[in-house]
Structure 1
Amino acid sequence: MSWESTWSEERRALREAAAEFARREIIPSLADWEDAGELPRSLTHAAAKAGMLSVGYPEAVGGEGGDLLDVCALQEGLMSVGASGGLMASLYTHGIAVPHMIAHGSPHLIDTFVRPTLAGERIGSLGITEPGGGSDVAGLTTRAVRDGDHWVINGAKTFITSAVRGDYVVTACRTGEAGHGGISLIVVEQGTPGFTVSRALRKMGWHASDTAELAYDDVRVPAANLVGEENKGFYYIAEQFVVERIYLALQGYGHAMRCLELAAAYAHERETFGKPLVKNQVVRAQLVEMHRQVEVARTYTLEVARRHIAGEQVIAEACLAKQTSVDTAVAVSDMAVQLFGGAGYLHGTEVERHYRDARILPIGGGATEVLTDLAARLLGYA
C-alpha cells in the first residue's frame, strides 16, 4: 500500500522532503549516534536549515506555519525511511519545550528561547517528572521561592530528554499550595550556578536520545523566566497534553509502519526450506495482521489530529489514539523481529532498534494505565 496517497499534494511533498532529508542527513550516521548516545548539534543546525524543525509553529514566533497534520506528515516521512525513536525524541524535544512559551510566554521568553530554538541555535527540554513521582504532575515537589527579582529553586527531575546537551529546561516547580493549583513553569538555563546534570541515564532503547537526572540546589533564576502566570503551570501543561500524545501516537504507528515494510521485504527475499518465507501461509497471515494494526492506528491517530485542528475537544480520544498506536508499535515490532528470526535479534539491525525503541511508548507521555483511567473519567465510565 502507498501510505503517501492518503496525504494532500502539499503534505505528500512535505513528507517526501522529510524522507529525503533523513536519507541524506540521518540514516548514514544513525548507527554511530545510537552508539554515542547523543545527537550532534550539527544535525540540529542542518534540520533547521532544511526547515525540518519549525513546521507547525506560527511565523510570528519564528516558525514556518502549518498545522498539526503538517507535522504528522513531516515526521511520518522521517520515520518511513528508518529514523529511530530516540532520534525523533531528541531532535524534536522542542515539541514539548516551546509550546507553553508560545501560548503564554512574554516577548522576552519568545525572543530569548523560542526563536533561537526553532532556528536550531538552542536546544530546549521540559522538566516535569521527578524521582518517585512518575506521572503524578500535581504531586511534584521541586520548589521555587520568590526572592526579589529572582526565583530560588530546589529539587530534582529525572527522565528528562535532551537534558545533557540542552541549553535550557522549562521546569515545573511548586510555587504555591499543594496540588495542581500551586505549580508554575520557570525556564532554567544550563550553566546557572547550582543547576547540574547529576546523572546521565542509560536506557533499554532511545539510545540516540540523551536522558538525565537534574539537580537544583539554590538555583537563582530571573523572575522574567516565569512562563505566563504564577501557579498556572499545571493548566499550561495540560493544554499541551493532547498534542504530545498525538506525537507519541505518530511515533508509535511510524515504528510499526517501518517494521511492516522491513518484514515484508525480508519475507520475500529470505529463503528457507527451498522457498521464500512469504510462500508460507502463516507468514502471509502475520503480515496481514501487522498491516491491519498499522492501518487502524494510523487512520485513528490522523483523524484525532484532524478533529483537534478543527477545534474539537479530543482529550479522551488522544489518550485512546496513543494507546492504540503504541500497542501497535510494541506488537508489530515484536512480530517483525520474529519474522527476521536470529537476524532480528542482532544488535544494530533496524528491526531490533525499533523493537527496543517502541517499548518506552506505553510508558512515556503518561503511562497507558494512567491515560486509561483518565479516559474512563472523561467518557463517563468512572
Structure 2
Amino acid sequence: MQSMYFTEEHQLFRASLKDFLQKEVVPHIDKWEETGTIERFIWKKFGDMGYFGLATPEQDGGLGLDLFYTVVLLEELQKINSGGFAAAIWAHAYLAMTHLNKEADSFVKEKYLRPSVDGDKIGCLCVSEPFGGSDVAAMRTTAVKEGDFYTLNGSKTFITNGVYADYMIVAAKTAPELGNKGISIFVVDRQSKGVTANKLNKLGWRASDTAELAFDNVKIPVENLMGDENMGFSYIMEHFSLERLIMGINAHARAEHVLEYALQYMSEREAFGKSINKFQALRHRVADLYGDIDMCKEYNYSVANRLDKGQYVVKEATISKLKSTKVADKVAYECLQFLGGYGYIEDYPMARNFRDSRLGPIGGGTSEILREIIAKIVIDKKEYKPVKV
C-alpha cells in the first residue's frame, strides 16, 4: 500500500474493516444475492461502527475523516464479491448523504443526516429518469410551490436503494422554463402519500434493490428544500465528481481482487503436467492486466488526494471512471477465461463478478457521456466551476 496516501491509522482501519466484513457480512451475502434484499440489521451494525459517518463532520454526528478512509471502505467492500451490497452501502453514504452533508440545513440534518450516520435510516439519490438517463437537464419531474408545500410529480429510474430507502434525495424542476437552471433538490420521506416503487430485475448487483419510482402529487414541506431553489443542477454536477471517482475506485479494487483470485486458481490448476500460471500465453496476459490495474489505482489515488484537498476534479474524476471501469470489465472477461469452464459456473465467484462489473461503464454516467465531457474540456475548452457559496 502506498505510504504517501495511507497512514498507519488507515491501515489499522483497513484491518478492522476486513475483520468486520468477514464476520458480519460475508456469511449473509449469498442469501442477499438470492433474495435481492439486504436485511436491516446490517445497516445498524455499519452505523454502530461509524462506517456511515466517515465523511460527515463531527458536529453532525460523524467522524470527519479524510477521504482515504472512504477509499479503504470502498476497496474492502469490493473484496467480498457482491457489487450489489457494496453499491447499497456507498449509494447511501456517498450519494444520498453527500447532498445532506453539503446542502441540508440544521433542521433536515437533524431529521435525516444523523439517523443516516447511525444506520437508522437508509437514503437514495433520485436523478435519472426513464426518458432522460444521463441527460440530467432533460428531466421531466416537477415540483410546484403551493404555499407551505411543493407538489412533486414525475418518475425516476435505476435508483439504488429505491425500494427500501426511508428517504429520497430528489431532483425536480421548480422552474421548467429555465431548463437546467430551474432544477432544485428535495428530501422526500418514503411515507409520503403518492410515492410508489417498482423493483427492477437486473443482470447483476442482485443484492441491491434498484427501483423505478413514481411521484403522484406528493406534498413536500418547503423546509425539505435543500440549498437554494433552482441551484440543483450545479449541486448535482459538483457531486458527480465524487460519484465518478467512487466508481473508478470500485473498479480498480474489484479488478485487483478478481485477478488475485484468478492467480490463486491458476497456481493450483494443472494442465499438461504443470500449473497453468507457467504458460507464457497466460502469464503475459496477466502482466498486461496487472499493469492496467496498477495504472488506474495510482491515478485514482492521486485524484482522491486532490479532491480531499478541496480541488475541483471534474475532468480527473471523469477519466477515473471511464478508464477504470473499462479495465475492470476487461479483467473480469479475461479472468473468467483463465478459469475455463469453472469461470462459467455459478458456484465460483467469477460469474457474479462478471455480471456485477458490467454496470461500471453504465451507472453514474455512461462511458459515452464521459467521453463527451472530456472532449468538451479538451477540445472545446469548456470550464466546469464549483458552486459559489
The two structures have a TM-score, normalised by structure 2, of 0.94
Amino acid at match of 1:92: W
- Matched with 2:385 is none
Distance 1:348 1:368 in 2: 31
Identity %: 37
| Conserved 8 A contact 2:5-2:305 | no
Distance 1:350 1:8 in 2: 32
Q: Quick one: structure 1 residues 304 and 3, their matched pair in 2 at CA, closer, same or farther if it must change by over 3 Å?
A: closer
Q: Give the deviation of 1:5 after TM superposition.
A: 9.7
| Conserved 8 A contact 2:5-2:68 | no
Distance 2:347 2:78 in 1: 17
Q: Give the deviation of 1:101 after TM superposition.
A: 2.2
Q: Give the deviation of 1:350 after TM superposition.
A: 1.3
Distance 1:38 1:289 in 2: 37
| Conserved 8 A contact 1:256-1:329 | yes
Distance 1:325 1:146 in 2: 42
Runs of 4+ in 1 over 3 A off after TM superposition: 2-6
- Matched with 2:38 is 39
Matched, 1:180 2:180: yes
Q: Which moved more, 1:172-181 or 1:256-265?
A: 172-181
Q: Secondary structure at 2:52's aligned position in 1?
A: coil
Distance 1:108 1:312 in 2: 29
Q: Quick one: structure 1 residues 319 and 190, their matched pair in 2 at CA, closer, same or farther if it must change by over 3 Å?
A: same
- Matched with 1:123 is 122
Which residues in structure 2 correspond to 1:86-105 (within 5 Å)?
Answer: 86-94=84-92, 95-105=94-104
| Conserved 8 A contact 1:253-1:294 | yes
| Conserved 8 A contact 1:72-1:250 | yes
Q: Secondary structure at 1:121's aligned position in 2?
A: coil
Distance 2:347 2:146 in 1: 51
Distance 2:347 2:330 in 1: 20
- Matched with 2:352 is 353
Q: Give the deviation of 1:4 after TM superposition.
A: 8.8
Q: Which moved more, 1:12-21 or 1:140-149?
A: 12-21
Distance 1:251 1:354 in 2: 12
- Matched with 2:386 is none
Which residues in structure 2 correspond to 1:109-148 (within 5 Å)?
Answer: 109-148=108-147
Equivalenced residue count is: 379
Q: Which moved more, 1:91-100 or 1:161-170?
A: 91-100
| Conserved 8 A contact 1:16-1:77 | no
Distance 1:350 1:134 in 2: 30
| Conserved 8 A contact 2:319-2:374 | yes
Q: Secondary structure at 2:51's aligned position in 1?
A: coil
Q: Give the deviation of 1:348 after TM superposition.
A: 4.0
Q: Quick one: structure 1 residues 289 and 106, their matched pair in 2 at CA, closer, same or farther if it must change by over 3 Å?
A: same
Q: Secondary structure at 2:204's aligned position in 1?
A: coil
Q: Secondary structure at 1:212's aligned position in 2?
A: strand
Q: Secondary structure at 2:339's aligned position in 1?
A: helix
Distance 2:76 2:303 in 1: 19
| Conserved 8 A contact 1:183-1:231 | yes
- Matched with 1:282 is 281
| Conserved 8 A contact 2:81-2:353 | no
Matched, 1:190 2:190: yes
The two structures have a TM-score, normalised by structure 1, of 0.96
Distance 1:4 1:18 in 2: 19
Identify unmatched segments of 5+ residues in structure 2. Answer: 382-389
Distance 1:287 1:306 in 2: 28
Amino acid at match of 1:191: Q
Amino acid at match of 2:39: P
Q: Secondary structure at 1:92's aligned position in 2?
A: helix
Q: Deviations over 1:51-86 (max 9, x none)?
A: 222112211211111122220022212323x24211
- Matched with 1:163 is 162
Q: Secondary structure at 1:133's aligned position in 2?
A: coil
Distance 2:121 2:375 in 1: 39
- Matched with 1:309 is 308
Q: Which moved more, 1:343-352 or 1:130-139?
A: 343-352
Q: Deviations over 1:298-334 (max 9, x none)?
A: 1101111111222333211111011111011100011
Q: Secondary structure at 1:218's aligned position in 2?
A: strand
Distance 2:129 2:15 in 1: 39
Matched, 1:364 2:328: no
| Conserved 8 A contact 2:81-2:352 | no
Identify unmatched segments of 5+ residues in structure 1. Answer: none
